[in-house]
Structure formats: structure tokens, C-alpha cells
Amino acid sequence: MKSTTPPVFEDWKSLLDFDAIADPFDKIAECQYFLILASHEPDVQRFRWLISAFFGAAYSFFEISAMSAFHAFTDPKTGEQVEDAEALEILRRYVTIFQNVKNPSFVKTGGLHEVTKQLYELRKGNTHHFPLSIMVTGQELPETFHFGYISGQGVPALPFCRKTIALMRQVHQELQA
């Protein structure tokens, strides 16, 4: 009769492929990648797709950062997760953070800072309501692409994305200090 008990591994670390585990702050590089491509893309459809990917990565940066802060340490006596209060304090300057009491592994963020508010609104609309609206407001594409659909009220797309990356880098530096 075969045993159904899983084997016990003395060295569980040998089972892990550490090269496969991305740095949580890799999302900044991912945003930079999509922004570089978008910065050279004059086709409005392709530009929209790249910015959509940029929004997903930027949003993910804040979500992953909050999740990491809530589960930063493990109490050696109880094995329970312990939050990093300093990291949460830093993040709460930029995003609202909600942790579900019944399911502590569920962490959700929302825009709080002027840039994150706009990022979260644009991403939410693009993800849940309608494709991202991009207006052509001049000849110098893609620099003159604007978010929106009402002439004269759009938000310059690439400058906003650059502000977003700058803020993400600032948050990352504060979390690392």
C-alpha cells in the first residue's frame, strides 16, 4: 500500500526557484517599459493599449506594496503575519488601504494623493466601464495625446504617466529608507 502522506523536505528552500520570484518593486520597471513604448507610438489604438498596461502595472505597484506591508513579518511564536506599521504609514500618504477583517489576505487600495486619485479613476473607467478615451490634440504625436473625450478638458497623457512614475519612485524610496 502506497503512503498518501506527502514527503517531508528537510530543505524546503531547495524546492524554490528564487530567480522566478520577481521583486515587488519590479512594477516601476514595468511601468517604465510601457511608457517608453507609448512615448514612441503615434497610433492612437496602440497607444491606448500601452497606457492601459501602464495603468495596470501602476495600480499593481500600490496594491502589492500595501499587501507586502500587511504581511511583512511572521511572528516566530505564533506563525501569524505581522504588519509593517512604518510602511503602512508611508503608503497611507498616497493611497487609502483597506484590509478585510474576515479575510486578512484581501487588501485593497484607493487613490488619495492627487496623482493616485486620477490614476485610480482612469484605470477604473478603463478596466470596468469603457475603453480609455484618447484625444488627438495636436500634430506632435504621441506627446499631444490627451485622456478624455471633451475638447479642451483632456489630461495630457504622457506627462501624467511621467508624474505617476515619479511618484512611484518617491514612494519606493520612502519605503526603502
Which triple of cell numbers denotes residue 108?
A: 485593497
The helix-helix angle for 44-70 and 157-176 (nearest 10°) equals 20
Tens place of pLDDT for every residue, the chain, 177 residues?
Answer: 565 666 555 565 566 666 666 676 799 999 999 999 999 999 999 999 999 999 999 999 999 999 989 888 877 888 777 889 999 999 999 999 998 888 877 899 999 999 999 999 999 988 888 889 999 999 999 999 999 999 999 999 999 999 999 999 999 999 999
Rounded to 5 degrees, what are φ and ψ at 77?
-80, -40
With beta carbons less than 8 A apart as the criterion, state whether 137 and 154 touch.
Answer: yes
Per-position DSSP letters for the chain, written without gaps between them: ----SPPP-S-GGGG--GGGS--TTHHHHHHHHHHHHHTT---HHHHHHHHHHHHHHHHHHHHHHHHHHHTSEE-TTT--EE--HHHHHHHTTTEEEEE-SS-TT-EEEEE-SHHHHHHHHHHHIIIIISPPPEEE-SSSTTTTEEESSSTT--EEHHHHHHHHHHHHHHHHHHHH-
Cβ count near 142 (within 10 Å): 21
With beta carbons less than 8 A apart as the criterion, state whether 134 and 145 touch.
Answer: yes
Which triple of cell numbers denotes residue 112?
A: 488619495
Tell me what pLDDT residue 171 has. Answer: 97
Q: How many residues does the chain have?
A: 177
Tell me what pLDDT residue 157 has. Answer: 98
Which triple of cell numbers denotes residue 115?
A: 496623482
| Identity of the residue numbered 62 | F
Does 142 sit behind a cis peptide bond, omega within 30 degrees of 0 on the bond before it?
yes
Tell me what pLDDT residue 87 has. Answer: 96
Tell me what pLDDT residue 4 has. Answer: 63
Tell me what pLDDT residue 3 has. Answer: 58
Cβ count near 30 (within 10 Å): 18
